[in-house]
A and B are shown apart, each in its own frame.
Chain A
Amino acid sequence: MTTRIYQERQGQIHRKGKKPFALECDKESLAGAVSQRACVFCGSRVVLYPIADAVHLVHGPIGCAVYTWDIRGALSSGPELHRLSFSTDLQEKDVIFGGEKKLHAALIELIDRYQPKAAFVYSTCIVGIIGDDLEAVCKTVAAETGIPVLPVQSEGFKGNKRAGYEAACNAMFRLVGTGDISNISRHSINILGDFNLAGEIWLIREYFNRMGVEVVANITGDGRVDDIKRCHGAALNVVQCSGATMTLANLIKEKYGTPVIRVSYFGIEDMAESLYAVANHFKDPEMLAKAKEIVRQELEILLPTLKKYRAALTGKKAAIYVGGAFKAFSLVKAFRHLGMQVVMVGSQTGTKEDYQELQEITDEGTIIVDDSNPLELSSFLQEKEVDIFVGGVKERPIAYKLGIAFCDHNHERKEMLAGFTGMMNFAKEVYGSVMSPVWKLVPRKQPQSTQLRASVPACIAGL
């Protein structure tokens, strides 16, 4: 198995045990290693994507736009501009003579057509090289159309996904402070870092509403430009997700003094803790009592159902590989509720602090890995005899090919996994995949002696 691990990456893999914890991270991906990471553009695109009343124009050749068309399960309660894919589709002559004119014309055309509240213009690799002045074009178009036109400096090669989060936050921050903040409640928050996959933010908002908390802006799930413009009027920024919107919270804190708390809405403890943290911040006993009541009511429904799943799943082993590490923390805890053990956990873009925390909450022997790849992941899944793997689209075929159950926890998913309802869905999905009789048929579980056992050469030769 170790032959599948690159020498250069040894420091990015840790097995919890006697050796003191040390994990290298935040490094550039190793060339040739088939990293599961994407790029700066991807980071910006995922963060801003759910803002539903803005035009999101990708300035570059067609690839970057077409691969992100309707890619997220981020729902909107109103406009759905975010589900369209806009591109300047740069051609050879644009690359030679510059794409500014085309960008200008495209922006005017799209703004005329859709009357959006704002436009985000994403820079791609090539724009960084040919030197189009995005800033200037955006400024001109903003003056001509009267809406904010915001450049996003997301050239793919300028770092990894985290740099893209920052670029997105910098772009959004230009909107903050331009809206009217009168009539905002004392008990008000912005929800940052939830993207309303399968309608999750509606659920979270409802919990907060039941506690008497006003939500000013969703950043960015079911997001609206006008809400972001006035989000500096909220009393507290509640931030989920490792790094995606933290930069924005910090920028707002710096300029407007808005305090920040970090939360997670995945899993029972973390969801409850999020509500309590907000109540505690406002030092309002009544609000805390309401939060406790919500948790009590929700658990009354949830816990009896979880029992059934737990009975079936106890002792099964899980592996986790996600984009940001925050999801991994909650998942480790969520699996405990199902009686399952996490034997491998990793992320594309975790920080030193993230991995330290993972080290603390996982069991002995657990593999912790940064910026992994298919060769490593497949060898870990096999070594640990994993029953279910949690990840995104790129991880799914690795699990399935090896005959291992899978739970999609990426941004394409159509199932709500946040909140107490989300925990129920999560348990259902894990149960539904792990308990499928299909795993009895896969080569991994077939006795060696069976004639029909699918050995590769025989299969291929027979075709």
Chain B
Amino acid sequence: MNPTPDISHENNIEFLATPPKNRTRLKGDEDPKQRSESDTPGGKQVDNEAGKRAGETPGSLPRGRGQMPKYVSTTNACKLCKPLGACLAFRGIEGTVPYLHGSQGCATYMRRYIISHFNEPIDIASSSLGEKNAIYGGGANLKQGLKNVSDKYHPQLVGIATTCLTETIGDDLKMIIFEYKKEVPTDQPLPTLITVSTPSYAGTHMEGFHAAILSVLSSLCEKTPAHDRINILPGFLSPADLRLLKEIMTAFALPATILPDISDTLDGPALDEYQMIPAGGTPLAEIRKMGGARATIEFGSTLDQKSGGKYLEQTFEVANHRLTMPIGIKATDRFFELLENLSGENTPARYLGARGRLIDGLVDGHKYVFGKRAVLYGEEDLVVALAGFLAEIGVQPVLCASGGKSGKFQATVAAVTDGLCEDAPETYEDCDFHEIAERAEALAPDLIIGHSKGYQLARKLAIPLIRVGFPIHDRIGGQRILHIGYEGAQQLFDQIANAMIQVKQDRSPVGYSYM
């Protein structure tokens, strides 16, 4: 193993010559002009840059860039199905039972998949449709299912997601639910019922996740007198991330409504009673008032125009601030800058301390990671944010891949890594692990960053897999992985640096016990 980072002198100079505006920017040296262009430091700006870049170089391939093969068949998908995302989002709402209108298998498979990551119970109800229902319609089963869920679980809300089966047979959910509401006797419980269309042939689990959130907002939000709360639409973060997010908002004294909030519902304490619906989640009363909030902060670089944040902006004129997920220094700085603006307060000392320790740690470990080549895959928004983080610590994200296909992935990855990478990362939407493996092998990476499903590739290439995101099926503690904030960056950095040190140590014939 060559201890010297594999990067030419020329490229080093190129790197150092990168304009500072595209390098890690500290709070003090930001460009005020850029700030005034948009009141949303972060994603919006990234989007603009991304749009420009994409417009300038349509389809052009950077130097040395390979071609991703494209197959008709999908082998080892790098995405999950749409209703799963909806179930995860509904699980983050207080008193809610996720419900799938489809055959029994969908609910069971998704429960199994989710349980294997969080190690928490997740009861997803199902219409359990049979053959007759597929022919004559699933209305009767849906009504019976809703009645049974209402009777036993006493939910405040039932989040009903469709499946490919019920979308294709054409069940009219709005009509069925309209009828159901009329049929329920007045002395029987009638929870709030929200539906979302999630055929798995149109989008990944992330589209399902965001569609569920949008559906919740458009169903529940009412015209509300203006109040002091901030809305946060974090996307699919880990419970550990959400706990930190809440802590940060508390530290800024900014009351926040975080939707969804799976920090307790999918990472709860040991109990002596089975909770039919786990405690926690975003309170419905808070969601109803999100239209009166001061602002919305929405994480995600590849979201489309029909996002929850946009909805609140268009319907209730709540200013929407779209940011890249706050992973790494630059993206976290943007988030804190926004919180400073919103609160009128300086960043609390503990976070400045965390930032300082992070920078100090990055300095301590910079040699071990510089020039290392990383393969990244997973949900588009997560990969974009991770790519930005890697680029700013000197790791080259050589391949960024996702099963999603927002159409914005390449441009946003290019924007967050611009000026920090020797070569622009190869970026592919709509790809599977077979394709990722083919390209990865050609790119000779040093490490892989993503969820558990990249393990086979890491094993084949005999390089470390840094586990992030969802699902973590081959380790415990997936729910406790911290990605965001200075603390998250610190943990990720330590893991990456130590993984690189360990590779060198393990491959050494001597095996020093010093670095």
Interface residues of A (CB under 8 A from B): 3-4, 6, 8, 28-42, 57, 60-70, 84-92, 94-95, 102, 105-107, 109-110, 124-126, 128-130, 155-160, 373-375, 378-379, 382, 393-394, 396-398, 400-403, 441-444, 454, 456-457, 459-460, 463
State A28–B141 Cα separation when bound (angstroms): 11
Knowing A35-B126, A63-B109, say if A454 contacts B77 (CB, 8 Å).
no
**List of B residues within 8 angstroms of A4 by Cβ:** 152
**List of B residues within 8 angstroms of A40 by Cβ:** 105
State A319–B110 Cα separation when bound (angstroms): 24
Give min CB distance, A152 to chain B, whole Å.
14
20 residue pairs of the A-B complex, CB under 8 angstroms, read A6-B152, A28-B128, A32-B147, A33-B148, A63-B110, A65-B77, A67-B80, A67-B110, A109-B73, A110-B75, A129-B134, A156-B106, A156-B165, A158-B134, A397-B121, A397-B122, A402-B272, A402-B273, A444-B272, A459-B269
**List of B residues within 8 angstroms of A57 by Cβ:** 73
Interface string of B97-117 (1 = CB under 8 A from A): 001001111111111110110
**Contact A42 B109, beta carbon cutoff 8 Å:** yes
The number of A-B residue pairs with CB atoms under 8 Å apart is 257
User: B339 at interface (Cβ–Cβ under 8 A)?
Assistant: no
Knowing A86-B74, A394-B115, say if A125 contacts B274 (CB, 8 Å).
no
**Contact B103 A401, beta carbon cutoff 8 Å:** no
State A232–B98 Cα separation when bound (angstroms): 48
Top-6 shortest CB links A-B: A39-B105, A63-B81, A32-B148, A32-B145, A378-B274, A31-B145
User: B149 at interface (Cβ–Cβ under 8 A)?
Assistant: yes
State A70–B455 Cα separation when bound (angstroms): 11
Q: Which of A85, A109, A441 contacts B77 (CB 8 A)?
A: A85
Knowing A32-B149, A401-B274, say if A92 contacts B74 (CB, 8 Å).
no
State A340–B458 Cα separation when bound (angstroms): 43
**Contact A157 B80, beta carbon cutoff 8 Å:** no
User: B315 at interface (Cβ–Cβ under 8 A)?
Assistant: no
**List of A residues within 8 angstroms of B201 by Cβ:** 61, 90-92, 94-95, 126
State A374–B122 Cα separation when bound (angstroms): 9
State A95–B11 Cα separation when bound (angstroms): 49
State A35–B116 Cα separation when bound (angstroms): 18
**List of B residues within 8 angstroms of A382 by Cβ:** 273-274
Which residue from chain A places its CB closest to the CB of B80 in the assembled complex? A66
**List of B residues within 8 angstroms of A6 by Cβ:** 148, 151-152
User: B439 at interface (Cβ–Cβ under 8 A)?
Assistant: no
**Contact B123 A34, beta carbon cutoff 8 Å:** yes
Known: A42-B105, A110-B75. 12 other contacts (CB 8 A): A31-B148, A32-B125, A34-B124, A40-B105, A63-B80, A89-B77, A92-B202, A125-B165, A397-B120, A401-B121, A460-B280, A463-B243
State A106–B74 Cα separation when bound (angstroms): 8
Interface string of B62-102 (1 = CB under 8 A from A): 00000000011111110111111000000000000001001
Q: Which of B141, B165, B456 contacts A126 (CB 8 A)?
A: B165
Which residue from chain B places its CB closest to the CB of A348 in the assembled complex? B108
Knowing A92-B201, A102-B72, A110-B73, say if A374 contacts B270 (CB, 8 Å).
no
**Contact B148 A30, beta carbon cutoff 8 Å:** yes
**List of B residues within 8 angstroms of A31 by Cβ:** 125-128, 141-142, 144-145, 148
**Contact B133 A157, beta carbon cutoff 8 Å:** yes
Q: Number of B residues contacting the other chain (C-beta, 8 Å)?
A: 82
State A463–B268 Cα separation when bound (angstroms): 11
State A35–B104 Cα separation when bound (angstroms): 8
User: B129 at interface (Cβ–Cβ under 8 A)?
Assistant: yes
State A65–B77 Cα separation when bound (angstroms): 8
Which residue from chain A places its CB closest to the CB of B71 in the assembled complex? A109
Give min CB distance, A139 to chain B, whole Å.
19
User: B279 at interface (Cβ–Cβ under 8 A)?
Assistant: yes
**Contact A457 B123, beta carbon cutoff 8 Å:** no
State A6–B148 Cα separation when bound (angstroms): 8
**Contact B115 A393, beta carbon cutoff 8 Å:** yes
State A287–B189 Cα separation when bound (angstroms): 67
**List of A residues within 8 angstroms of B302 by Cβ:** none
User: B199 at interface (Cβ–Cβ under 8 A)?
Assistant: yes
**Contact A62 B81, beta carbon cutoff 8 Å:** yes
User: B169 at interface (Cβ–Cβ under 8 A)?
Assistant: yes
State A63–B246 Cα separation when bound (angstroms): 33
State A129–B103 Cα separation when bound (angstroms): 13
**Contact B74 A87, beta carbon cutoff 8 Å:** yes
**List of B residues within 8 angstroms of A124 by Cβ:** 164
User: B163 at interface (Cβ–Cβ under 8 A)?
Assistant: yes
State A105–B119 Cα separation when bound (angstroms): 39
Knowing A32-B125, A32-B149, A106-B73, say if A394 contacts B103 (CB, 8 Å).
no
Which residue from chain A places its CB closest to the CB of B131 in the assembled complex? A158
**Contact B120 A401, beta carbon cutoff 8 Å:** yes
Which residue from chain A places its CB closest to the CB of B141 in the assembled complex? A31
Give min CB distance, B98 to chain A, whole Å.
10
**List of A residues within 8 angstroms of B148 by Cβ:** 6, 8, 30-33
Q: Which of A63, A105, A157, A373 contacts B130 (CB 8 A)?
A: A157
**Contact B152 A375, beta carbon cutoff 8 Å:** yes
Which residue from chain B places its CB closest to the CB of A42 in the assembled complex? B105
Q: Which of B99, B104, B144 contacts A37 (CB 8 A)?
A: B104
Give min CB distance, A397 to chain B, whole Å.
4
State A92–B104 Cα separation when bound (angstroms): 22
**List of A residues within 8 angstroms of B168 by Cβ:** 95, 125-126, 129-130
Which residue from chain A places its CB closest to the CB of B201 in the assembled complex? A61
User: B264 at interface (Cβ–Cβ under 8 A)?
Assistant: yes
**Contact B274 A375, beta carbon cutoff 8 Å:** yes
Give min CB distance, A54 to chain B, whole Å.
15
User: B462 at interface (Cβ–Cβ under 8 A)?
Assistant: no
